[in-house]
Amino acid sequence: MSNLLIRGGTVVNADRSFRADVLTQNGKIAAVGESLQAPAGATVVDAGGQYVMPGGIDPHTHMQLPFMGTVTMDDFFTGTAAGLAGGNTTIIDFVIPNPKQPLMEAYQTWRGWAEKAAGDYSFHVAVTWWDESVHRDMGTLVHSEGVNSFKHFMAYKNAIMCDDETLVNSFKRCLELGAMPTVHAENGELVFLLQREVAAMGIKGPEGHPLSRPPMVEGEAANRAIAIADVLNVPIYVVHVSCVEAAESIARARARGQRVYGEVLAGHLVIDDSVYRHPDFATAAAHVMSPPFRPKGNQEFLWRGLQAGNLHTTATDHCTFCAAQKAAGKDDFAKIPNGCGGVEERLAVIWDEGVNTGRLTPSEFVAITSANTAKLFNIYPQKGSVSVGADADLVVWDPAGTKTLSAKTQHSKGDFNIFEGRTVRGIPSHTVSQGEPVFVQGDLRAVQGKGRYLKRPAFGPNFAAAKLRAETLAPTAVKR
């Protein structure tokens, strides 16, 4: 492993910004301070006038996902490499077993696929069905494989959707294991009905997609998942919160003292539902993802949620399908594979729309793009912090650099960019992964297979503290 000295920059962590050099050795941060000396043979990066931040952590990607009859364009190499080009150094992807497929079998399959990753990765494991073997495999995954989060799709009926029985059993098991339950919160029964109703009205194009998934479809499911978690006294993490209805459910629960956390996609922060009315099918279909992009006004509400601390992390749900794949839904919007890209653009879009507008400080930017995810999934400060002993995953950020985002220049294998044409100010000049410069002023040096699987320890007794709340609140036995 080489030594690297990043000199002259301003270090930005979630808690503070300060002038300091950063020295890395053997893939770890060895020193953070003023006037550090470069060991013989060290690589030196001049970070004058730039920020040195923890590498981005994207808690929601789907590389190489088999879904809706096809497989995403990005595999674990191209997807993680694209992330490195955008300052993202870690992904948390998803193992999604088919119903009745043993969780451990699916987990081994995804582990195999991910060996080609260029950056570090970890997995949430989806619980898509329930029986005693699922209960058992969740324990194995937590105790032996370093999984500390389990995903539940409340949408995608007749595919990977789980019902309330599965939610209740799995959330209960999560509490026992000290694992975070997470949800894709859309009412899949309503979607299934509305898709047929919208089609029956003769609407076959992508404009039908948001009509079949109105915000209350998400609001109801978010509220239901949060209520189940409340009764069971388990924390809960809601992925891709896209609308007021879901964000308000989270804020209300948090105001009652419940441990609920929300994730927001970069796309949902800056794109509205007008994209579905684009006259070009391919353009409108390229934006088909779930939950859909929402009417104007929802985006600002999500920004306020991040500013208020009711929403905590940002992600991309990077799940890329090309035009030919999206054309499967040419005559039926319900058949358009759901998913969009973003793993390379997330940091620059959120910096430009968040920091340059004054919504976020640089430290708040670090919190919502890296540190909060590391804390919520128990890998802080190994990840998410520029501090001695942490992994040397860093991004040197040029606040004056500009770039126009485009499918023509992206590193993703997708053929569309939902941020097409957006010119951003604030871009990575260098990305460092395991102490190695892997992106240097536009030159991507990602190495296939260099990425490591990240174990994430189960949460400790504080996680179970929620149970105490039940005991303290439970009425004392009535003496008869």
How many helices (H) and strands (E) in the chain? Answer: 16, 21
Residue 338 interacting partner from Zn ion, ligand URQ, none (CB closer than 5 to 8 Å by kind): ligand URQ
- Among 120, 218, 317, 364, interactor with Zn ion by CB under 5 A: 317
If the CB atoms of residues 67 and 419 are measured against ligand URQ, the closer one turns out to be 67
The reply on whether position 393 binds ligand URQ by CB under 6 A is no
The reply on whether position 162 binds ligand URQ by CB under 6 A is no
Residue 67 interacting partner from Zn ion, ligand URQ, none (CB closer than 5 to 8 Å by kind): ligand URQ
Which residues, 264 to 323, sit near ligand URQ by CB under 6 A? 289-290, 317, 319
If the CB atoms of residues 58 and 415 are measured against Zn ion, the closer one turns out to be 58
Task: Say how far apart CA 441 and CA 429 lie, in whole Å.
Answer: 5
Find where tokens 């109105």 sit.
214
The reply on whether position 127 binds ligand URQ by CB under 6 A is no
Burial class (CB in 10 A: 0-12, 13-18, 19+), 56: buried
Residue 289 interacting partner from Zn ion, ligand URQ, none (CB closer than 5 to 8 Å by kind): ligand URQ
The reply on whether position 225 binds ligand URQ by CB under 6 A is no
Minimum distance from residue 92 beta carbon to Zn ion (Å): 11
> Omega into 337 within 30° of 0, i.e. cis?
no
Give CB contacts under 8 A, 24+ apart, made by 274-281: 275/418, 276/206, 276/207, 276/209, 276/210, 277/207, 281/205, 281/206, 281/327, 281/330
The reply on whether position 67 binds ligand URQ by CB under 6 A is yes
Minimum distance from residue 318 beta carbon to Zn ion (Å): 9
Task: Say how far apart CA 276 and CA 255 lie, in whole Å.
Answer: 35
Task: Say how far apart CA 414 and CA 78 lie, in whole Å.
Answer: 10
If the CB atoms of residues 161 and 348 are measured against ligand URQ, the closer one turns out to be 161
Which residues, 178 to 207, sit near Zn ion by CB under 5 A? 184
- Among 7, 62, 173, 259, interactor with ligand URQ by CB under 6 A: 62
Q: Which of 106, 109, 88 is nearest to 451 (CA)?
A: 88
Task: Say how far apart CA 389 and CA 93 lie, in whole Å.
Answer: 25
Residue nearest to Zn ion (CB): 184
The reply on whether position 346 binds Zn ion by CB under 5 A is no
Angle, nearest 10°, between helix axes 164-177 and 461-473? 110
The reply on whether position 53 binds ligand URQ by CB under 6 A is no
Minimum distance from residue 403 beta carbon to Zn ion (Å): 26
Helix (H) or strand (E) holding 229: helix 215-232
Q: What angle do CA 259, 223, 312 make, to 5 degrees?
A: 45
Minimum distance from residue 342 beta carbon to ligand URQ (Å): 11
If the CB atoms of residues 184 and 346 are measured against ligand URQ, the closer one turns out to be 184
Which residues, 167 to 206, sit near ligand URQ by CB under 6 A? 184
The reply on whether position 338 binds ligand URQ by CB under 6 A is yes
Q: Which stretch binds Zn ion (CB under 5 A): 215-223, 269-277, 314-322, 445-453?
A: 314-322
| Backbone CA torsion sign across 141, 145, 148, 151 | negative
Task: Say how far apart CA 10 and CA 29 lie, in whole Å.
Answer: 15
Three-state DSSP state, 271: coil
Q: Which of 316, 320, 325 is nearest to 340 (CA)?
A: 320
Minimum distance from residue 65 beta carbon to ligand URQ (Å): 7
Give the contact letters, 348-367, x = binds to ligand URQ (CB under 6 A), - = no.
Answer: --------------------
Q: Which of 12, 88, 4, 83 is nearest to 46 (CA)?
A: 4
Where does this chain bind ligand URQ (CB under 6 A)?
A: 62, 67, 184, 289-290, 317, 319, 338-339
Where does this chain bind Zn ion (CB under 5 A)?
A: 184, 317
